[in-house]
Amino acid sequence: MKSRPALAVDNTADALADPLDAFSSEAPASTPVSAAAAEPAFRPMTPPVRRTIALPAFDRTWKPWGLAALAAGVALIGFAIVEYRGVAARTAAAEVGTLTIDSRPQGTRVVVDGQERGVTPLTLTLKPGDHGLALLNGAERRSLPVTIAAGTVVSQYFEFAPAAPAVSTGKLSVTGDVSGSRVSIDGRARGTTPLFISDLAPGDHVVAVAGEGGTVERKVTIEAGATASMVFSVPKGGVAAGWLALSAPFDVQLYENADLIGSGSAARIMLQAGRHDIRIVSQALGFEETRRVDVAGGKVSTVKVDAPKAALSANARPWADVLIDGANVGQTPLANLSVSLGSHEVLFRHPQLGEQRQTVVVTAKGPNRISVDLTRK
């Protein structure tokens, strides 16, 4: 290690001492003094003496310890900053609440307080208080009020009915009492009975069936995705004929004796004039009844089926408001609700646990029950 330069100490003060101090005033009286000695005599001035003071060598071993102390200080300051930010973040989080929304199908648009916030699944941070929540799935909209408390998490789940595939055509079944009768639709020949056509455009069509006794013509209405059935009885030798028009709230099959003469919920069937005992059956719903119909020549006799009702029970965990086909029927548990036969949409709604939508088919034989667990996601 290099040493600091020695300091020079100037002793000039010693050299400037009074020269008379060289003579002693106490010299013995008997000592002879020569004339030369009696004259003042001066000592030559002593040059200044420079003294060198050696300082201890400078110790540089402090550097590692100093760096370590500096690093520790920086780390302590960093920890304090991180802790401060963490406390600030926890304080901010305690002042808001969290809302999570999911649905089936996912990708449903979410609107909170009138503002679109994204699509499901979605997690939002909201201020405490009441908020309006809405989900948009195509043309269907679900709305629900939610209450957010500070520092809590509220979850909502919505289930939408799957979208039915778009169908642009309808189907038609044409049968007759004599096989091989010629069939034309809207003036265009389409084949012979029995005939099934799967690509008719929705709307009204004119169906004509020609046999030995002449041609029978009538109108049918085709609906997209539905199947219409027509049974023709071509008169022989000028025998008069009439029509049976059926109106039912669900699909049925029409039998005369053991013969199937028509099906659907809106059928128009040609029958020979006279009295007929028609059996109306829905095997899926456990429904059956018999009607006696008098058919007049050239006339239309209408048979209308009113849907009978059966008991339905509904329950939910922990509980829910229940809507059937959009009408509020009460709060679970519900038993022995009087519901018409057929398919119904049931919506279970809970203010905190969201909604679930189910489809139930009510049959005449039962038992008819439906339940959901809203705590399961």
pLDDT in tens, 271-288: 777 888 999 999 888 999
Supply the pLDDT for residue 51. 60
Lowest mean pLDDT among 11-25, 79-93, 261-275, 309-323: 11-25
Neighbouring C-beta atoms of residue 351, cutoff 10 Å = 12
Sequence-ordered list of residues with C-beta below 8 angstroms from that of 289, at least 6 positions apart, any chain: 279, 280, 305
Over residues 237-254, the mean pLDDT reads: 79
Amino acid at 34: S
Question: What's the Cα-to-Cα distance from 78 to each of 71, 81, 89, rounded to whole Å?
Answer: 10, 5, 16
Cα gap 205→222, rounded to integer Å: 8
- 168-212: per-residue pLDDT in tens? 888 988 887 767 788 889 988 888 888 888 888 898 898 888 876
Confidence tier at 23 by pLDDT (50, 70, 90): very low
Mean pLDDT of 245-255: 88
Res. 144: pLDDT tops 50? yes
The closest alpha carbon to 342, from 286, 259, 276, 278, belongs to 286
Residue identified by tokens 């009492």 is 177
Tell me 6's DSSP state: P
Fill in the amino acid letter for 102. D
Lowest mean pLDDT among 2-16, 101-115, 267-281: 2-16
pLDDT top residue among 110 and 213? 110
Query: Which pLDDT belongs to residue 87?
Result: 55
What pLDDT was estimated at residue 10? 47
Domains of the chain with bracketed CATH = 7-53 (no CATH), 97-159 (2.60.40.10), 170-304 (no CATH), 309-373 (2.60.40)
- The larger pLDDT score, comparing residue 168 to residue 100, is at 100
Estimate to the nearest angstrom the gap between the alpha carbon of 237 and the chain centroid: 68
Q: Which two tokens stand for residue 63?
A: 């550097």
The pLDDT value given to residue 363:
92
Q: By mean pLDDT, which of 15-29, 57-71, 305-319 is the weakest? A: 15-29
pLDDT of residue 21: 46
Mean pLDDT computed over every residue of the chain: 78
**Mean pLDDT, to the nearest integer, of 118-130?**
90
Grade residue 3 by pLDDT with cuts at 50, 70 and 90: very low
Query: Which has the minimum average pLDDT: 26-35, 51-60, 114-123, 248-257?
Result: 26-35
Residue 19: name the closest of 42, 38, 51 by CA: 42
150-172: pLDDT as tens digits: 888 888 888 887 766 666 888 98
pTM value is 0.41
Rg (CA), the chain: 55
Q: Considering only 84-93, 203-212, 253-262, 334-343, which range has the smallest mean pLDDT?
A: 84-93
Tell me the one-letter amino acid at 23. F
Amino acid at 255: Y
pLDDT of 26 over the 70 cut: no
The yes-or-no verdict on residue 59 having pLDDT over 60 is no
Q: How many CB atoms lie within 10 A of CB 134?
A: 16
Work out the pLDDT band at 5, boundaries 50, 70, 90. Answer: very low
